[in-house]
Amino acid sequence: MYKKNYQLDVEEQDILDSFNRGEWKSKGENLDKYVKAAKKTIDNQRKRTKYLTPTQMRNLKLRSATQMV
C-alpha cells in the first residue's frame, strides 16, 4: 500500500506490514468526538494567529524551532 522510502525499526516495520495486510480495522468508536476535537483545535489556532500574516507565522515557527522554545 505505502512506499517504503524511510527507515523503520523492526517493530515499526511489523506494524506497517500488518497494516498493509489488512489486519487493522477501524472500529469507528467515538469518531465524531475526535473530529469535533480536531476542528476545535484548528479553530482555536486560527483565532490565536488571526493577527499574524502567514509569513509572520511561518517566521515565528521557524524562530521558535531553532531556539527550542
From the CA atom positions of the chain, what is the Rg in Å? 19
Indicate the SS3 state at residue 8.
coil
Q: What is the pTM of this model?
A: 0.34
Identity (one letter) of the amino acid at 49? T
Angstrom CA distances, 38 to 33, 41, 68, 69, stand at: 9, 5, 25, 23
- The residue among 47 and 36 whose pLDDT is bigger is 36
The answer to whether 16 touches 2, Cβ cutoff 8 Å, is yes
Residue 50 pLDDT = 67
- The residue among 67 and 20 whose pLDDT is bigger is 20
Indicate the SS3 state at residue 33.
helix
User: 8-36: per-residue pLDDT in tens?
Assistant: 889 999 999 999 999 988 777 778 888 89
